[in-house]
Copies of this chain bind each other. A is one copy, B any other.
Amino acid sequence: MSFEEFTPLNEKSLVDYIKATPALSSKIGADKSDDLVIKEVGDGNLNFVFIVVGSSGSLVIKQALPYIRCIGESWPMAKERAYFEATTLRKHGNLSPDHVPQVYHFDRTMALIGMRYLEPPHIILRKGLIAGIEYPFLADHMSDYMAKTLFFTSLLYHDTTEHRRAVTEFCGNVELCRLTEQVVFSDPYRVSTFNRWTSPYLDDDAKAVREDSALKLEIAELKSMFCERAQALIHGDLHTGSVMVTQDSTQVIDPEFSFIGPMGFDIGAYLGNLILAFFAQDGHAAQGNDRKEYKQWILRSIEQTWDLFNKRFIALWDQNKDGPGEAYLADIYNNPGVLQLVQENYMRNLLLDSLGFGAAKMIRRIVGVAHVEDFESIEEDKRRAVCERSALEFAKMLLKERRKFTCIGEVVSAIQNQS
């Protein structure tokens, strides 16, 4: 069997592929034995994912298909996304090796990535949040990942030649960007056959979103920022389903939506999904497990994530202020006073962007096409609708009034008051 042109793999042909590929076979001992165990586990919407275990190791094979898997060939989607995913996994992996799985192999023709298998007990963070599990290092790890990947791919560290080269490269991922533009920034605010919500309970709420001019004003600004602002190499889909965790490991996966975009889109996606997890907790409460303490843990995690991110990002800036970055040249920002002034201004704007994008990501998960398991796993419609409505009301307020917040602590207080 030849793999010189794109061929969707199955559990059988994958064996041939691995045996023909030393970068993969040597990782797992496939060269020595036929004893490979292969399991297709892609529960996502877009790709095939195989876990492969051999005599001396394991790995994951992820293959992109030229359409959206869960819908089928009627919704085409460039398999080139695998190239951007592999490129970003490697780039972010170099910057934050502790929190990005290693890539062993990438095949552009086959749209195929071979990478580290995140072995049990790694689970998707979203599932951990639904189960009420505390992760003591989560805020620490995620703030570290975001600070490093965003700082080092921005003009705070790049010169503008390198930056425009990166912009050029990732402009190729336009189809995935367009999907985000549609499902995050457009569909929730108009009548669309893709939209859904917990009906009939949220019928009026969904209609209110579609008729809220102030909300539409804000979402337009964010959409323009998403489309126009090349600030850093962002993951592009950094919700709690793109993070795998154990008690002491945090791994960010699936950056197929990555491009040079606004940093706040990543930070907001992550924080917004933690806020969704918070509002879903009442739906998971049961006798003897009221989730009250867990809700407080989520709130602390939100606050710690931003505060640690802020601290680390500024520390990277200070350490690299004489480096190659061209946004703030050392001979202009040449004393601690002016440096502090521009840093505070930068972080203030970044918090506002993050709150705006975070709110937008919350809204779309309640009245748009793709919902989150946090709410979907609440079986009773009425009970789910109560949780979703609280989250939606908070998100609408945040989107419209985010400029009033001066620190993350105030946001956390507002979440508490809403619930």
Contacts and interface: CB of A to CB of B under 8 A. Distances in A.
A167 interface: yes
B181 A345 contact: no
Contacts of A329: 186, 190
Given A230-B230, A231-B228, A329-B190, A216 B342 contact: yes
Interface in A272-325: none
Contacts of A326: 181, 227
Interface string A204-238: 00000000010011001101100111110000000
A160 interface: yes
Contact of A171 (B164, B223, B341, B345): B164
Nearest to A337: B213
A334 interface: yes
A224 B263 CA distance: 13
A338 B160 contact: no
Contact of A174 (B164, B216, B224): B164
A328 B220 contact: yes
A164 B186 contact: no
Interface string A146-187: 000000000100001101110110011010011001000010
Contacts of A165: 171, 174
Interface residues of A, number: 43
Given A338-B213, A342-B216, A332 B177 contact: no
Contacts of A345: 217, 220-221
Contacts of A224: 155, 327
A167 B171 contact: yes
Given A177-B160, A227-B155, A334 B220 contact: no
Nearest to A219: B332
Contacts of A186: 329, 332
A223 B163 CA distance: 14
Contacts of A217: 338, 341-342, 345
B216 A332 contact: yes
B227 A190 contact: no
A194 interface: no
A191 interface: yes
A333 B216 contact: yes
A174 B227 CA distance: 20
22 contacts: A155-B227, A160-B181, A161-B174, A161-B178, A165-B174, A168-B168, A171-B171, A181-B326, A190-B329, A190-B331, A190-B332, A190-B334, A213-B341, A217-B345, A220-B327, A220-B333, A220-B345, A221-B345, A223-B327, A227-B326, A229-B230, A230-B230
Given A165-B171, A216-B332, 11 more contacts: A155-B224, A160-B181, A168-B172, A181-B326, A191-B331, A213-B337, A216-B333, A216-B342, A217-B338, A217-B345, A228-B230
